[in-house]
Structure 1
Amino acid sequence: MNDTVASSSASTKPSFWTKLAYGIGSVAYGTKDAGLKFFLLLFYSQVVGVDSRLVSLAILVALVFDAISDPVVGYWSDNFRSKWGRRHPFMYAAALPVAISYYFIWTPPEGWSDQAMFWYIVGLAIVIRTFITVYETPSTALAPELSSDYDERSSILSFRYFFGWVGGNAMSVIAFVVIFPAFVTASVSNGQFNPDAYARYGLIGSLVIFVAILVSALGTHNYIPHLRQAPVKRDLTLKMIFKDIYRTIAGRSFFALFFASLIAFSASGLSAGLVFYFTTYFWGFSAEQVGAITIGVFFSAMIGGSLAPIVTRWLGKKRGALIVGVIAFVGAPMPIFLRLIDVLPENGTPEIFWIVLITQTIDVGLIICYQILAASMMADLVEQAEDQTGNRSEGLFFAAATFMRKFGEGFGIVIAGFVLSVVGLSAGAQQGDLSEDTIWMLGAVYVPVILTLFMTVIAIVSFYDIDRAKHEAALERLAERKAVS
């Protein structure tokens, strides 16, 4: 398949079923992400009883390995040759290792010391993150290959983010509505604090991850002939490879989007790492109420997935991301701030439950919309780099996107662990055990930290400078070069 045919195919709209299969693939990442973001810190700190700082440090150590694996996998998949193309061999290879390692992180051995548990978490976190990279980077890199159209890319990535959020959120709903209630015992009044519940959660999650990866790989398999082939094989030294990588990604727009997304995902990780601390301790919700609030994220995914293509057409990606981002980022900690200044109704009243449910559902929807726009902006960098360097490197750009997401959210959880330490929330504390001062401090520390991170994102992303006109001009120049070659 030559580049002309691949380019022609990319200019058309992929079928609904192709976009659906591409989107379903993110259920694997969403399931892994929800577990490691929302439950891992709480599970090991409050259920297993490991010092939250050690859990956070274990996550941070695993992130260092991510910094190495992401660009390696991205560059490798851009240049890989096989009868199944550049991306699909990686997708198939990752399915079983991710599923198995994900199961075992929720079934830790009993009686180990904090130090031993630290290395257990480190080892499994590295395996999970490495193999999710092997899958996620080549899989998401299909987006700019499926279409080069400015608007269509936002539509394609809406499928990806919709299913990513729905998949991960479904596991949280299952946990709170089905799993945790089933593990209430005479000695554990809230199944959320029963270690056996997490073994069940890990088993279901690992099966979901395995099936989602295979469904996406098989569902997009017939599109392989329409995808680009690897470039002409070259004899490259390690120095030449890193020089090639730098030439590809160097540019104001990439670095603006890279650092803005890194901070945005750090804020997301911080929020996710503490979300169940807030629902359980700060708001005092029951497991059933937390499950109902979590169900609201399904509606959030619909809001974000539907809104992103509309915003792209009406406002453009950058302007839309700035406007949607400001609204979403200011609104995210607002209920907590209003509680700190005693504006909201008391805990235990129906009103406070509905206020948190509605505001969080809308705000998460806007954040999802922002994430889709940012991902679509990343996809548009592919042609800009190809125009400037002659290299087509979807995998490299989406390796950066995968790294930003994993490192940022993982680092956010690290921050969350230290926030818990600062406010004095002890390991093993049950609902109702915390003093009012500790609960108030949790909100008082969280609000300024999360707002500072989010507002920094808005300031940095404003330096991104690719719009519809620049994207279409780059496509025209690339088409002209191919016509005369």
Structure 2
Amino acid sequence: MTTARAHPRARRLTPVTKLFYGFGSVAFGVKDNGFSYFLAFFYAQVMGLPAATVGLAIMFALVVDAFVDPIVGQLSDNTRSRWGRRHPFMYAAAVPVGVSYVLLWNPPKGWEPGLLVIYLASTAILIRSFISCYEVPSSALAAELTTEYDERTRLLSYRYLFGWVGGLAMYGLALSVFLRPTAEFPVGQLNRQGYANYGLFAGGLMLFAILVSAIGTHRQIPFLREPPSERVTLGRLTRELIGTLANRSFLFILTSNFFYAMGIGLGFSINLYFSTYFWEFSSAQIALFTFASLGAAILAFAAAPRIAKRFDKKPAALILIPLGISVGVAPIVLRLAGAFPTNGSPLLYPLIFVTTIVSVGVGIVGTILFSSMIADVVEDSELKTGRRQEGVFFAATLFIAKAVTGVGIFASGMIISAIRFPAHAKPGQVDPDVIRHLGLVYVPTQAVLYGTATLLLLGYRISRASHAETLRKLAAAADLATEGEPVSSVGDLA
């Protein structure tokens, strides 16, 4: 075993390696975008299932995810093969991910509603589970490819850029190609065959993205860690999982990230209500917001590494979380106070477009920083437990990323129900009091979610200096082990 495989050193990665690594997140971006924007609508409006039932089916798949993700993380952490710990899972997931996504958008014809709900839940669980088999090991590579504090943020910026660009590009392609209006379907979103064609193309794209990333990062395998040669048992895996997840900084960053993701998910899920009824934008104007999100992703890609380097990760996140939500809800607050342009004003759309770029961009930077901070927990945990378990930590992160969809749909539904928003409502014809209540409930809810995320982040203790010291101690322990000297406790090294 080489020194690199015995203990990873801080190193800079080539742009090509970062591109191959980041490109794989196109698969997750496509899946997440489909779940967020199309899935609930397709099964409710096209397939005829009750909207509440669809939401429950999606939430059930999310609950199953809570068990699948850590299992995949543990298995990949303890896998020994000539292709390393992560790549066997990445290669194996490619075809099942593509096939299961195609199945999701091709439900059987003529089935009873009850069977159709079972089909939805089953295929949703399949695609989420298979995407976990790729995404958990792939995400864990970020902590293995380099231990350099700032390089991790740069690497993860590529991952989130490709995830957003892939998802948004597939969203635009779906609306402009697969779901475009026809003589038979003047409303293209109601064309069942369009969704089938979309699923086939999207599944193929996901398969391609996974294989390109796995093959492109294959040459990095000699630089990655191998697990110790120990017998793996269920009891041992369970004890290690509990011990690893008990890391103090990880618990704070995980719970903080959960509330942060809930806020983001709620914003995504309820955004169409604000665009359609609160601001009364046309469908063409709403579609153009895709470019605002795309611009935000590109800006976040460029800004995240620079912000983290100048302010450090935790202080930067503590600034960005309140900033992002403040910019996002400022137009709503000003409208409620009667100090914002009225609907139809030529100033309204440009103002909302710009605030969308800023708020979404800040949100993406915050997400990148959260993932980078979790990567830094890996060495902190290794110093305390002697185990390196990137898969377990990033499995928890992935579950939270998936929770954005399920929890967001559930939370937005609760708000819409609480304010008694009418069904089949037309823009401009909804009771002004209902529209006002939409803003009055949404803004405080987001303030609580983002405020809780900010407060919990204060419990995260890893900084640039402490991470460097952790790496020094781990390197010293590795050097002693190479020389054949016993090391009773890595944490005791000074």
TM-score tier (shorter): over 0.9
1:370 paired residue among 360, 366, 370: 366
2:250 maps to amino acid: F
CA contact (8 A) 1:53 1:418 kept: no
2:256 maps to amino acid: A
Task: Specify the alignment match of 1:207 in structure 2.
Answer: 204
Task: Specify the alignment match of 2:155 in structure 1.
Answer: 156
Pairwise mapping of residues 81-92 of structure 1 onto structure 2 (< 5 A)?
Answer: 81-92=80-91
Bigger drift between 380-389 and 198-207 goes to: 198-207
2:245 maps to amino acid: I
Structure 1: segments with no counterpart, 5+ residues? none
Pairwise mapping of residues 445-484 of structure 1 onto structure 2 (< 5 A)?
Answer: 445-484=441-480
* 1:414 Cα deviation from its structure 2 partner: 1.9
CA contact (8 A) 1:52 1:418 kept: no
Give the whole-Å Cα distance in 2 for the aligned partners of 1:158 and 1:391. 27
CA contact (8 A) 1:340 1:440 kept: yes
Task: Specify the alignment match of 1:436 in structure 2.
Answer: 431
Give the whole-Å Cα distance in 2 for the aligned partners of 1:82 and 1:208. 28
CA contact (8 A) 1:144 1:394 kept: yes
* 1:313 Cα deviation from its structure 2 partner: 1.1
Give the whole-Å Cα distance in 1 for the aligned partners of 2:146 and 2:334. 44
Give the whole-Å Cα distance in 2 for the aligned partners of 1:48 and 1:170. 25
Task: Specify the alignment match of 1:314 in structure 2.
Answer: 310
Give the whole-Å Cα distance in 1 for the aligned partners of 2:165 and 2:355. 18
Deviations 1:120-158 (A, max 9, x none): 221111111111111100001000111101111111111
Give the whole-Å Cα distance in 2 for the aligned partners of 1:394 and 1:16. 23
* 1:251 Cα deviation from its structure 2 partner: 2.2
* 1:103 Cα deviation from its structure 2 partner: 2.3
Deviations 1:195-229 (A, max 9, x none): 44433332332222111111111111111111111
TM-score (ref. length: structure 1)? 0.93
Task: Specify the alignment match of 1:411 in structure 2.
Answer: 407
CA contact (8 A) 1:254 1:378 kept: yes
* 1:20 Cα deviation from its structure 2 partner: 0.5
CA contact (8 A) 1:329 1:455 kept: no
1:225 maps to amino acid: P
Pairwise mapping of residues 75-86 of structure 1 onto structure 2 (< 5 A)?
Answer: 75-86=74-85
1:204 maps to amino acid: F
1:361 paired residue among 357, 367, 372: 357
1:15 maps to amino acid: T
Deviations 1:344-395 (A, max 9, x none): 3333444222122111011111111111111000000010011111111111
Task: Specify the alignment match of 2:117 in structure 1.
Answer: 118
Bigger drift between 404-413 and 69-78 goes to: 404-413
2:265 paired residue among 265, 269, 273: 269
Task: Specify the alignment match of 2:222 in structure 1.
Answer: 225
- Deviating 4+ runs (over 6 angstroms): none
CA contact (8 A) 1:308 1:373 kept: yes
Task: Specify the alignment match of 1:6 in structure 2.
Answer: 5
TM-score (ref. length: structure 2)? 0.91
Give the whole-Å Cα distance in 2 for the aligned partners of 1:441 and 1:48. 31
CA contact (8 A) 1:51 1:114 kept: no
Measured at CA, do residues 368 and 215 of structure 1 come closer, stay the same or move farther in structure 2, by a change above 3 Å?
same
Give the whole-Å Cα distance in 2 for the aligned partners of 1:136 and 1:281. 37
* 1:184 Cα deviation from its structure 2 partner: 4.7
* 1:14 Cα deviation from its structure 2 partner: 1.5
1:227 maps to amino acid: L
Measured at CA, do residues 205 and 340 of structure 1 come closer, stay the same or move farther in structure 2, by a change above 3 Å?
farther
Deviations 1:259-311 (A, max 9, x none): 11111112222222222333334333333322211112121112111111111
1:234 maps to amino acid: R
| Pair 1:335-2:335 in alignment | no
Task: Specify the alignment match of 1:173 in structure 2.
Answer: 172
CA contact (8 A) 2:307 2:316 kept: yes
2:215 maps to amino acid: L
The higher-RCO structure (CA 8 Å, 6+ apart) is 1
Deviations 1:221-265 (A, max 9, x none): 1111111112212242x2322111121221221110111111111
2:98 maps to amino acid: A
Give the whole-Å Cα distance in 1 for the aligned partners of 2:362 and 2:454. 14
Give the whole-Å Cα distance in 1 for the aligned partners of 2:151 and 2:166. 23
Identity of matched residues, %: 42
CA RMSD between the two structures = 2.2
Pairwise mapping of residues 182-331 of structure 1 onto structure 2 (< 5 A)?
Answer: 182-185=180-183, 188=186, 190-236=187-233, 238-331=234-327
Deviations 1:305-347 (A, max 9, x none): 1111111111100000010111002222332333344433333
Measured at CA, do residues 9 and 387 of structure 1 come closer, stay the same or move farther in structure 2, by a change above 3 Å?
closer
Measured at CA, do residues 187 and 384 of structure 1 come closer, stay the same or move farther in structure 2, by a change above 3 Å?
closer
2:402 maps to amino acid: K
Measured at CA, do residues 155 and 338 of structure 1 come closer, stay the same or move farther in structure 2, by a change above 3 Å?
same
Task: Specify the alignment match of 1:105 in structure 2.
Answer: 104
Measured at CA, do residues 440 and 205 of structure 1 come closer, stay the same or move farther in structure 2, by a change above 3 Å?
farther
Give the whole-Å Cα distance in 2 for the aligned partners of 1:420 and 1:443. 11
Give the whole-Å Cα distance in 2 for the aligned partners of 1:451 and 1:109. 43
